[in-house]
Structure 1
Amino acid sequence: MPEGITRRALLAGAVGGVLGACRRPADARVLRVGCMGTLAHAPSLIGLHSGRFERALSARGVRVERAVFGAGPEVMASLLAGAIDVGCLGPVPAVTAYVRTRGRAVRVVSGAASGGAVLVVRRGAGIRCASDLRGRRIATPQLGNTNDLSLRAWLRSQGMDATEYGGEVSISPMKGSAMLAQMRRGMLDGAWVAEPWGARLVADAGAVVFIDERTLWPGGRFATAVLVMHRGYHAMARENVRLWVEVHSAEVARLREDRLRGMREANEALRAITGRGVAEGVLAQAWGRMEFTTDPLEETIAAMARVGMALGMVPRGSIEGLVGSV
């Protein structure tokens, strides 16, 4: 089977594969939460680590369970399969799931973060302009995630494409730890990633920032992470979701009112929840590229959807109603 068809099938399967399965029955006495170990998820990570989410829900007799994932498509697949009820993830998997389920399964109920995504390239690789990426190998966290779409869209805007579509740039989905190891060994030329991995690759693998994605968006703002709920759980336990969003909004407000305190708390939460914190210098670099907001930046989500559909990464369909309230 041609590689392009294989990768398209994988992309569809990240969400489509769980649509035919029965969603695990939800329980109104439990709220199961999914997030990722990236700084864009700081409101969720800090709220979980501090116990503020738990205290708000336990007052109603509701237990909070958490799961940490490596990339957004994993979060969305778990949400659709019923393993979690709410999740924080990039907007592209949310768009894909919404279109594939014709709006029946998920809804974005809040923004979480803007910015904090970069393309870094290996120092000494001779990459000084876009055309120098021809024949190179670039990593993203997962096929079909928001960083993956950003890389592919930018390549297309520069007159290039991925090798599976007959283009010149090899795109390899992999975990951040693999990016670090391969870039150190000269096996990887670059990576389009969320923070703190961009700053880590700069500090620990000798990479340099080639593109700060903020420069590609009007006003430098675009949705990096959003809060998504399963509509079935919301119908059964609306108050649980309302409380979750309320605490999430308070966490965003705390991050905005004292960024230095928020940076320290985010690192403590990362260390406690994922088992790995971020070095102080790396953290400061990464944190400086981010903004936390409850605004879902709906126009940028719509732009990502249009680009994803044009690239064949997102199924064609309406996203009207994707962003809503509880």
Structure 2
Amino acid sequence: MKKKSIFLAIIFMLFAGILAGCGADSATGKKDGKEKVVIGYFPNINHVPAMVAKDKGYYQKELGDGTTVEYKTFADGSAFMTALKTGEIDAGLVGPGPAMNNYSTGADVRVIAGASTGGTVVLARKDSGINSVEDLAGKTFITPAVGCTHDVQYETYLEDLGITSERIGGTMKHLTGNAAQYSAMLQAGKIDIAVAPEPWAAQIQLETGAEVVIPWNEISFGETLPASILVASGKMIDNNKETIDKIVKAHKEAVDFINANPEEAKEITIKDIEITTGQELAKEVVDLAWDRIGFTYEVDQEAIQAFSDSSYALKFLKEKPDFKEFIDLQFISTETASR
């Protein structure tokens, strides 16, 4: 009888534990009894729509009081895509390069809106002896990650000049790192070339005297390619269509606000980047960077295809991808899209 009582007690505790587990907050779906949505973005000016939506409470307003909105920042696209694939984040802004690379290898990622264009600038270290693009062969350059958006833009531009990286048999040496550290690395002579997203390009130019070798509007795909895109997983779109619709609405509100209120948007950007990186950007840095960026939630599908073709040609992608299901713009009204 005693053994039976112990057995029943164990069964009861196990059953209670299962019930407790079912009622507890999950890692990504619930918090304090509310639905939880996590938005990811990077601390650079191409990702200002996320910063503005966060500051203005647009996501929270659209998703309602029954949802807790959290934010997570990333230094590169690889970390962002890992977080999206594992469900650590539900949606967010990332460059098209990492999204395409992961999609081509089977990742469940979909583009649901554009966010920005432009913002990639190539700068040469002062006294590096680099006076034109022809001098870049054999030099050391840095980008946030191998095959990232900025890397593909840079290597595409130079390939037309017959200059390639060591990765594919050329002479350019490639390093990767956090763009916020590029100024220090240039001044220390660790790199010759910085392929930098804004606002770090403007900061490098103003702080170190580095020369712009390839302007934002001359680098490959500079004016047409979405520099950042809003993405989510196909599973999230299929299972939580209403949530995604609200996220896109909040995103569109943020883009409209940026275009209507650039000075206030700059203040929000400076504050958010300082909180995230510990670096306070000077207003003149942000002003210069802002002139090299456009904000829109439209997506140039032809530019994305051309970019992917180049990624394949540069051997960042093993197979030429089919993007039929990669871009899902059902949540965007083309009649009201920002231009």
Q: Shift of residue 221 of structure 1?
A: 2.9
- Identify the match of residue 33 of structure 1 among 39, 53, 57: 39
Q: Corresponding residue for 2:17? A: none
Change in Cα spacing, 1:67 to 1:308, as seen in structure 2 (3 Å) is same
CA drift at 1:260: 2.3
Aligned to 1:10: none
2:90 is the counterpart of 1:85: yes
| Match in the other structure for 1:66 | 71
Distance in structure 2 (CA, Å) of the matches to 1:218 and 1:271: 29
Residues 83/98 of structure 1: CA separation in 2 closer, same or farther (3 Å cut): same
For normalisation by structure 1, the TM-score amounts to 0.87
**Kept in 1: contact 2:59–2:250 (CA 8 A):** yes
Alignment counterpart, residue 279 of structure 1, candidates 277, 282, 288? 282
How far off its partner does 1:26 sit? Answer: 5.3
Q: Which residue of 1 aligns with 2:57?
A: 51
Deviations 1:279-325 (A, max 9, x none): 11111110111110011222111111000011110232211121112
Larger Rg: 2
Per-residue deviation, 1:182 = 1.6
Change (3 A) 1:291 1:177: closer
What is the aligned counterpart of 2:101 among 96, 104, 124? Answer: 96
Pick one of 112, 116, 119 that aligns with 1:113. Answer: 116
Partner residue of 2:178 out of 175, 182, 188? 175
Preserved CA contact (<8 Å) 2:117 2:222: no
* Letter of the 2:73 counterpart: V
- Asked if the contact 1:68/1:274 (under 8 Å) is kept, the reply is no
Structure 2: how far apart are the matches of 1:182 and 1:219?
Answer: 25
Could you tell me which of 129, 132, 136 is aligned with 1:129?
132
Aligned to 1:214, the other structure's residue is in SS state: coil
Is 1:248 paired with 2:251? yes
CA contact (8 A) 1:35 1:87 kept: yes
Question: Separation in 1 of the partners of 2:196 and 2:303?
Answer: 18
Hey, what's the Cα distance between the residues in 2 that align with 1:264 and 1:208? 27
**Is 2:298 the counterpart of 1:295?**
yes
Deviation at 1:220, TM superposition (A): 2.9
Q: Does 1:307 align with 2:313?
A: no
Question: Does the CA-based 8 Å contact 2:153-2:221 persist in structure 1?
Answer: no
Distance in 2 separating the partners of 1:315 and 1:78: 23
Which whole-Å CA distance do the structure 2 matches of 1:271 and 1:181 have between them? Answer: 17
Offset at 1:234?
Answer: 2.0
Check if 1:202 corresponds to 2:205.
yes
**2:155 paired residue number:** 152
Is the 8 Å Cα contact of residues 124 and 213 (structure 2) preserved in structure 1? Answer: yes
Q: Could you give the per-residue CA deviations for residues 1-30 of structure 1, whole angstroms, max 9, x where no partner exists?
A: xxxxxxxxxxxxxxxxxxxxxxx9852721
Indicate conservation of the 8 Å contact 2:49/2:115, yes or no: yes
Q: Which amino acid aligns with 2:51?
A: L
Q: Is residue 45–residue 198 contact of structure 2 (8 Å, CA) maintained in 1? A: yes
**RMSD over aligned Cα, in angstroms?**
1.9
Structure 2 distance, partners of 1:222, 1:273, is 26
Write out aligned runs for 1:226-265 (5 A): 226-265=229-268
TM score, norm. by length of structure 2: 0.83
User: Which segment is superposed worse, 25-34 or 75-84?
Assistant: 25-34
Give the share of equivalent positions with the same residue, in percent.
Answer: 26
Secondary structure class of the residue paired with 2:48: helix
